[in-house]
Amino acid sequence: MLPSHVLASAVGLRLDRADVQWHVSPGQDDSLMRFWLTFSGVSYGFHVGAEDEILDVIVEERGTDADMGVYGRLEVRTASPADPAAAAVGQRLVVVHDLYAGYLGKPIGARLSFEHVDLSVADWEDELHWAAGDLPPAVGVRQR
């Protein structure tokens, strides 16, 4: 299902909170695994899709920390000021546009426009990418 369809019921609501799950492994930079945006008590999870490069956006509970042994651990944290979603907390979601790979590509992302900030997210090369405003040009997405 397209991100815009999943998030349709959140349009017009204020973003209550943003939470982020990181893969933490000694000696490596933390890696973004997924994040959740919560509107009126309903959390929407954003993560890499299981099939090809299609962003999964689903209604789900926020995740929890998990120990993965030699592979490190998963840590769920409230979005920090450096996280793109943090700037949208407290703002109303105005519209959601789906983002596509190239001109004829699949829906691999979404641009969420809030009152004063846009949040873009995409599943690109099996990694979750996010940014305030536009995604970097290396992430090949476009809005239709």
Q: Which two tokens stand for residue 17?
A: 């909170």
| 112 neighbors 88 (Cβ within 8 angstroms) | yes
Q: What is the DSSP letter of 5?
A: H
What is the distance, to the nearest Å, from the Cα of residue 37 to the centroid of all Cα atoms in its chain? 8
Residue of 55, 63, 57 whose CA lies nearest to 10: 57
Q: Which residues contact 3 (CB under 8 A, 6 or more apart)?
A: 55, 57, 96, 98, 107, 109, 110
Tens-level pLDDT at each residue, the chain (144 residues): 899 999 999 999 999 999 999 999 988 888 889 999 999 999 999 998 766 657 899 999 998 888 988 888 999 999 999 999 999 999 999 999 999 887 667 888 999 999 999 999 998 888 899 999 999 888 877 776
pTM of the model: 0.90
> Cβ–Cβ contacts within 10 Å for residue 51, how many?
7
> Residue 51: its pLDDT value, please?
65
